[in-house]
Homo-oligomer: A and B are copies of this chain.
C-alpha cells in the first residue's frame, strides 16, 4: 500500500478491508476480557489465540488501523480497546428497534448484548394488536402502526427484523422509508433495499446446511453412501411441486462464509490449539463499558 515510509501512516487509512472489519469485534471482545483482568499489555500471539485467529492476520489487521503497538513489547490493552471501539463507531450510542416480537424477537430483546456497548433497544414493534403494551425485557411492545413515528422520533438508524419471512420485505421497506439505513435481517428472505442501505443477514438454516455439508463429507470418508430419500426422485418430478416440499425455511441466522474458527484446515490448529486461551470456566464474556 502506502510506501510505508512514515511509521505512523495516517491513523486511519481510507479503506479498511471488510474482512478486517468483521474481525475487529472479535479482537475487541478478547481485549475487553483482558482489560477486566487488568492485563496491561498483550502480544499479537496471545491476543490472536484469544480471538481464535493467527497472529500474522491480527497484525495485518491492526496495521490498517495504524501503528498502535510497541515493538518488543506488544499492545497496550486499554489503548487498543479504545481505538477499536472508536473505529467501530461504538463510542456513540446507537438506538435500535426490533420488529417482530415472537420467540426470536423476545430472545433478542432479552439479550444483554444490546444494552451494552453502544446499542440501546429504543423500541419493540409487533403487528399483533394483542402484543401491544405488553412488556418484554422491560420494554412495552408497540404496534406496527407506530413504526414510522418511533423511527423518526428516536433517530433510529439500525433496525432488526425478526418477523416471519412473509412480512420481512414490507417491514424493511417501511423501516427504510422512515430513515433506517442499516438492517440486521433474521427472516429467511433476500431483502431488496435501495443503495446506501446496509443489510446483514443471519440465517440459522443456512448455517446448519453448511454444517451438514461438511458432516456428510466426514461420514462418507472415501465412500459415498447414498441413502434413499423419502419422495426424492433422481429425475425431476414432472408433476407438481408442492407435495413433499412442505415449507422451506428457516430461522435465520447467518452471515457469510467463514468456516468457523477452526476446523477443517488442519493447520489452523496452530492458532487455536496453541493455547487454551479460554479459561476453564469460559473465557469470560466480556466486558465492556456501559
Contact = CB atoms under 8 A, between A and B. Distances in A.
B205 A113 contact: yes
A188 interface: yes
B29 A250 contact: yes
Interface in A94-138: 94, 96, 102-104, 106-108, 110-114, 116-119
Contacts of A81: 236
Nearest to A237: B78
B113 A263 contact: no
A287 B19 CA distance: 10
A137 to B, nearest CB: 9
Contacts of A34: 241
A152 interface: no
Interface stretch (A1-9, A56-64, A141-149, A272-280): A272-280
Interface in A37-95: 37-39, 50-52, 76-79, 81-82, 85-92, 94
A86 B216 CA distance: 10
Contacts of A279: 195-196
A211 interface: yes
Contacts of A208: 94, 96, 113-114, 119, 158, 184
A19 B257 contact: yes
Given A212-B118, A258-B255, A192 B273 contact: yes
A153 interface: no
Contacts of A184: 204, 207-208, 211
A177 interface: no
A94 B252 CA distance: 18
B112 A182 contact: no
A161 to B, nearest CB: 12
B246 A190 contact: no
A248 B189 CA distance: 30
Nearest to A275: B192
A222 interface: no
A18 B259 contact: yes
26 contacts: A22-B257, A33-B248, A77-B241, A82-B232, A82-B234, A85-B232, A91-B226, A92-B227, A108-B204, A111-B251, A113-B251, A117-B205, A165-B284, A189-B278, A189-B282, A190-B272, A191-B278, A200-B211, A200-B260, A201-B261, A246-B287, A247-B285, A248-B286, A256-B256, A256-B257, A256-B289
